[in-house]
Amino acid sequence: MVEPASVVLDPRTTEAVVFDAYGTLFDVHAAVMARADAIGPQARALSDLWRAKQLEYSWVYSLAGRYVPFWTLTERALHALARYPAVDSGIRKTLLAAYRELDAFADAAPCLERLRAGGLKTAILSNGDPAMLADAVAAAGFATRFDAVISVEDAQVFKTAPDAYRLVEARIGVPAQRTLFVSSNRWDVAGAAAFGLAPVWINRAGLPDEYPDLPPVAIVASLDALCLSPSGRSPARRPGSPPAPPRRGNGRRARHAR
């Protein structure tokens, strides 16, 4: 259930905000749905299966101790076309090209602008390999809006493996407890919580919660809910005391992930 709250960030307690890419900043269904007229009534089902297989392959290879670039898995996952014989298989090349330049969600650019204007570091941590991430970031005009674009390729394992999330501190130099991790994928939020990041779930579809033992610090409906403290300052802390978690917009503190 989506909690009607905003997440108020204070630069004195949160130094960086790291985003998942696919599904969070970029619409993974845009490639298919923009061509729904040509594909026909099975467009949404095709897009859902393509995404499901893409993720399934990443988890299978990770559990098997193997790594294959995410773009290769994305290409293989589009074998989902075979499940829909009424769809012209000749559209495969067009869909793959479109996936390299997915539409960014409308709330992504304003969110990044707010956070960077407030002095926070921003980064991407994605299963995507460097080349496909570079294409997506460039197509969205986001090239100057990140301090780092981090691919799990550097760890040779996909999320939710701890080594994937460990890349964040190594690349941006901010400890996990001072980093907010933002994802629309609940499984990704669970992995970030298990690692020790402070995750926010962008529950765009209003889905029921899962993984109760790996909760987010907050659940919100869109990136519009991420905002900065008006003063940019938090109450003074005694030396050695832990930083305060992000606050919900109604003034209650969001719960820590455990």
Instruction: State the pLDDT at residue 216.
Output: 96
Q: How confident is the model at residue 256 (pLDDT cuts 50, 70, 90)?
A: very low
- 17 Cβ partners below 8 Å, 6+ apart? 9, 115, 120, 121, 122, 123, 179, 180, 181, 182, 226
Q: What is the DSSP string of 53-75?
A: HHHHHHHHHHHTT----HHHHHH
Give tens-digit pLDDT for 64-101.
Answer: 999 999 999 999 999 999 999 999 999 999 999 999 99
- Domain range list for the chain: 7-27+102-248, 30-99
Task: Indicate the pTM of the whole model.
Answer: 0.87
Is 48 a catalytic site residue? no
Q: How confident is the model at residue 4 (pLDDT cuts 50, 70, 90)?
A: very low
Q: Which two tokens stand for residue 236?
A: 């003074």
Question: What are the helix (H) ranges across 78-227?
Answer: 92-99, 108-117, 130-140, 162-172, 186-195
Q: How confident is the model at residue 190 (pLDDT cuts 50, 70, 90)?
A: very high
Q: Please give the radius of gyration of the chain, using alpha carbons only, rounded to the nearest integer.
A: 19
Instruction: State the pLDDT at residue 231.
Output: 56
Domains 7-27+102-248 and 30-99 share a fold: no
Q: How confident is the model at residue 5 (pLDDT cuts 50, 70, 90)?
A: low
Mean pLDDT score, 146-167 = 98
Distance of CA 235 to the CA centre of its chain: 30
Q: How confident is the model at residue 173 (pLDDT cuts 50, 70, 90)?
A: very high
Instruction: State the pLDDT at residue 3.
Output: 57
High-pLDDT (> 70) share of the chain, %: 87
DSSP state of 26: B
The amino acid at 70: F
Instruction: State the pLDDT at residue 236.
Output: 30
User: Which position among 20, 103, 129, 188 bears the catalytic label?
Assistant: 20
Residue range 7-27+102-248 in CATH 3.40.50.1000: yes
Q: How confident is the model at residue 118 (pLDDT cuts 50, 70, 90)?
A: very high
Of residues 145 and 254, which shows the higher confidence score? 145
Instruction: State the pLDDT at residue 224.
Output: 95
Query: Tokens 């933002």 — which residue?
Result: 182
**Class of domain 30-99 as given by CATH:** mainly alpha
Instruction: State the pLDDT at residue 116.
Output: 94
Q: Which two tokens stand for residue 73?
A: 């898995």
Q: Hey, which residues does 151 pair with through a beta bridge?
A: 126
Instruction: State the pLDDT at residue 242.
Output: 39
Q: Hey, which residues does 124 pair with through a beta bridge?
A: 19, 149
Give tens-digit pLDDT for 217-248.
Answer: 999 999 999 988 765 443 333 333 334 445 44
| Rounded Cα–Cα distance for residues 238 and 245 (Å) | 15
Q: Hey, which residues does 199 pair with through a beta bridge?
A: 181
In the chain, helix, strand, coil percent, each to 5? Answer: 40, 15, 45
Instruction: State the pLDDT at residue 6.
Output: 79
